[in-house]
Structure formats: structure tokens, C-alpha cells
Amino acid sequence: MIAYTLRRLLLIPVTLFGIMLVNFMVAQFAPGGPVELMLAKVQGSAVDAAARVSGAGGSEAGGRVRAGPDAGPGGAYRGAQGLDPAFVKDIERQFGFDKPPAERFWLMMGHYLHFEFGSSFYRDVPVTQLVIEKMPVSVSLGLWSTLIIYLVSIPLGIAKATRDGSRFDLATSWAVIVGYAVPGFLFAILLIVLFAGGSYFSWFPLRGLTGVGMETAPLGARLLDYAHHLVLPVTALVVGGFASLTMLTKNAFLDEIGKQYVVTARAKGLSERQVLYRHVFRNAMLLIIAGFPRALVAILFTGSLLVEIIFSLDGIGLLGFEAVINRDYPVMFGTLYAFSLLGLGLNLISDLTLHWVDPRIDFSARGA
């Protein structure tokens, strides 16, 4: 396993480079960029200003105004004729687009090797600082949601497997069907309508993770307030995630229960509980335990976007969404680099976890 681990570690930089290269190339071909967006905003603002001046009886015929960054040579506004080329070049230089794409990519990767992600184009704040500011919200949602999903799904899946075909299995299957059928964001809206002052009850807060004035409250009160704010968003994520893990657990246990070693264990006189937890549990839980790191990353960085928007939670998901909309490349590529590296590391941890849970699994022996 040591040789396998070393090979996987050596593959991480190559894979990461490929991910960044493909996404960088896609971004180059995507219509609109930070320079185009900024110029459109500047030109649109200038057109609005010209219209206001003209409507107020400005002295320039045709709505021309004087001075300002949108003025052409001699100070005459040129919004209808295009911006001053020198001004456009200055904008390109500010965003780093005065260099060819290949040079920009290599410069970017050189900085990323030292975890220097630059500053946001539009917030003028370092990307690292932005991520650190938004991380507590996403960590709270992802960590608690994943833990609750596992704590609910594994016992429920085992119970369904041991009672396969019973009334309990059929009754709980309806909850699983609802979890499959109802998207998390739709369930979040339903929770707001029912319990956050939408139409019925006002039991839970609608926005943020802390109440007003809780910064100076005692620790116990702050923890209760924090938990109170988490109830609805975490519930929305749990409902959308527990169904698949429950069925995965049930099917894994049913598959193991039908194998020959279980029949042999029963023939030796072991009780059903001993058979289940001494033999079946270890083998059936391999896939589930190994998938925990990936499940955490999935919920942490992809599953909470709509929930963050619905509950006005300023986390990583919302930050990434705004970065894509605004073509904020430092935030887009900086977070992509950091989270891709984290994901690749967790994939390796998942494989090592499988080997740790069951030493019979040896990826290196299979030529992996």
C-alpha cells in the first residue's frame, strides 16, 4: 500500500493541472468576461448619466457630457461611439488581460503552487480571506447534515434489511420515496412556509446563523441560537440526502446476508445479532464508510447552494455562484484549485479507509 499511496500522491499534481487547464480553456471560450462585463457596466452608467443630463436641460446637444473616465479625447462623451481605446487598455491591464492566455495560465499556476490566489476583481478582497469568511456557514451546513444523514440512514437501512418485506419496511419506504422525489430546495421552501413565518408558524428564524445582539450573549445562549438557526437548512439538506444512503445501506446488508458465510455462521449456532454485527456489518459497511469523505465534500460545496440562497446564508456555495455570474476569475479558479486539491486528497483517504477497515483490500496488488 505504501507504493500505491506514493503513486496516487504523485498523480495528484498531474490531475490537478489537467482540471485547471480544462476549466481555463472553457473560460476562454465562454462568452463575456470580466473585462467585457466591466466595460458594459461603465458604458451603461455613462449612457444613463448622459440621459439624465440631457433630460435636465444639459448644454451639450445630443446628450454629450464633459470629463469623467468615460470621456473621449478632449472630454467629449463617446458612449454611443465606443469607449476610449486607452481606457479599454487600462481596464485590460487592471484585470491582467493584457497578456496572452497561455502566459496568464502559467502565471496563475505559478501563484497557485504557493497558494497565492490573488484578490477578487469586484470586492478587492483576497480570495483566501473571502473563503475563510464564508467557510463557517458551509462547514456548519455540510458537517451537521452529513453526520445526521449517516446517523439516521445507517440504522434505518439496517432495520429495513433485517425486516425486509415487513410493514415497517413498507412504511419507511414512503419516507424514502419522498426523499427521492422532493428536491432539497423545494423542501426548504416548504419549511419556510410552514415554520418560518410564511403562512402558519414562526418557530424558526429565516436568515443567517446568528440572531441580532447574540455576539455579547453567554456561550450557552449563543450555542442554542446557533442550533435554532440551523434546524431548517440542515433539515432541508438531510431530507434530500438520507434516502439514497438508506437504500445503499439496506441493499449492502441484504447482499451480505444472502452469502454463504452467513449461512455457515448461523449453522455454528451464532445468534442473529452476532451474525449481523460480527460478520455482516463489517463487510456491508465498507462502501458506506469509504464514501463518507466524498459525501461530506459533496454536501459541503455543491449541495448547499440553493439552500444557502433560500435561507440567506452567505457561504461558499453562494460565493461560487456569484463568482461565476460576475466572471470573477480569481475567486472561480482559486476556489476550484483549493477544493479540487481537497477532493483528490479525500479520494485517496477513502481508498486508504477501505484498506484500513478491511486489510484484505489491497489496491496495489490489483495494479491500481
What does DSSP assign to residue 199?
Answer: S
Instruction: List pLDDT tens digits, range 122-156.
Output: 777 888 888 888 888 888 888 888 888 888 888 89
Burial of 140 (0-12, 13-18, 19+ CB in 10 A): buried
Asked if pLDDT for residue 59 goes beyond 50, the answer is no
In this prediction the pTM is 0.70
Asked if pLDDT for residue 73 goes beyond 50, the answer is no
128-366 is a CATH 1.10.3720.10 domain: yes
Burial of 357 (0-12, 13-18, 19+ CB in 10 A): middle
Burial of 215 (0-12, 13-18, 19+ CB in 10 A): exposed
d(CA 262, CA 285): 15
Q: What is the number of other CB atoms lying within 10 angstroms of the CB of residue 83?
A: 18
Q: What is the number of other CB atoms lying within 10 angstroms of the CB of residue 10?
A: 9
pLDDT grade, residue 80 (50/70/90)? very low
Instruction: List pLDDT tens digits, range 25-56.
Output: 888 777 666 666 666 666 665 445 455 555 55
pLDDT at 14: 92
Q: Scanning the structure block, which residue is given the C-alpha cell 507504493?
A: 3
Q: What is the number of other CB atoms lying within 10 angstroms of the CB of residue 220?
A: 8
**Is there a contact between 325 and 140 (Cβ–Cβ < 8 Å)?**
no
Asked if pLDDT for residue 200 goes beyond 70, the answer is yes
pLDDT at 137: 83
What type of residue is 51?
A
Asked if pLDDT for residue 65 goes beyond 50, the answer is no
Instruction: List pLDDT tens digits, range 341-365.
Output: 887 887 787 777 776 766 666 666 5
pLDDT grade, residue 179 (50/70/90)? confident
Mean pLDDT of the chain: 76
What type of residue is 29?
F
Q: Which of these, 332, 341, 13, 281, lies nearest to 154 by C-alpha position?
A: 281
Burial of 315 (0-12, 13-18, 19+ CB in 10 A): buried
pLDDT top residue among 22 and 87: 22
Q: What is the number of other CB atoms lying within 10 angstroms of the CB of residue 150?
A: 20
Average pLDDT over residues 112-128: 85
pLDDT at 78: 40
> 35 is written with which cell numbers?
473585462
The set of residues, in sequence order, having a beta carbon less than 8 Å from that of 278 and lying 6+ positions away, is: 265, 270
> 201 is written with which cell numbers?
408558524
For residue 196, report the phi and psi dihedrals to the nearest 5 degrees. Answer: -120, 35
pLDDT at 70: 40
What does DSSP assign to residue 327?
Answer: T
Asked if pLDDT for residue 81 goes beyond 60, the answer is no
Helix and strand numbers, DSSP H then E, in the chain: 16, 0
**Is there a contact between 90 and 298 (Cβ–Cβ < 8 Å)?**
no
pLDDT grade, residue 17 (50/70/90)? very high
For residue 76, report the phi and psi dihedrals to the nearest 5 degrees. Answer: -80, 135
Where along the chain do its domains lie? 47-107, 128-366
Let me know the angle formed at the C-alpha of 268 by 262 and 270, rounded to the nearest 5 degrees.
Answer: 70
pLDDT at 33: 66
- 258 three-class SS: coil
Instruction: List pLDDT tens digits, range 285-337.
Output: 776 776 666 666 665 655 567 788 888 788 887 788 888 888 888 888 888 88
d(CA 267, CA 275): 11
DSSP letter for each residue of 9-69:
HHHHHHHHHHHHHHHHHHHHHSS--HHHHHHHHHHHHHHHHHHHHHHTT-SSGGG--B-ST
Q: What is the number of other CB atoms lying within 10 angstroms of the CB of residue 337?
A: 22
pLDDT at 368: 45
d(CA 130, CA 143): 20
